[in-house]
Amino acid sequence: MYRDYNFEIECKECGEVLEIPVDLEDYELYMNGMPVSHAFPYLSVDEQTSIRDNLCPHCWNILYGEEEE
């Protein structure tokens, strides 16, 4: 795999743009409906979550993160 394509994700909350390097072939698989975890098994869970939800890790934590008690 080459990770020759920068997958740009614009956070739907704050507008920050994340660039996650992926293999262009995997990107095309994803655009054709393959689940993130199958298309990009080499990405971290955080990166997969950002792609799936269109959120940067910061906003994801605000919306879904566990509050520490």
- For residues 6 to 45, the per-residue mask of contacts with Zn ion, x marking binding by CB under 5 A and - elsewhere, is -----x-xx-x-----------------------------
Instruction: List, in sequence order, the alpha helices (H) in the chain.
Output: 24-31, 36-39, 45-53, 57-64
> Is residue 51 a contact residue for Zn ion (CB under 5 A)?
no
Would you state the structure tokens that stand for residue 2, as one six-digit string?
Answer: 């080459």
User: At its nearest, how many Å lie between Zn ion and the CB of residue 3?
Assistant: 23
Determine the angle formed by the axes of helices 57-64 and 45-53, rounding to 10 degrees: 80
| Contacting positions for Zn ion (CB under 5 A) | 11, 13-14, 16, 56, 59
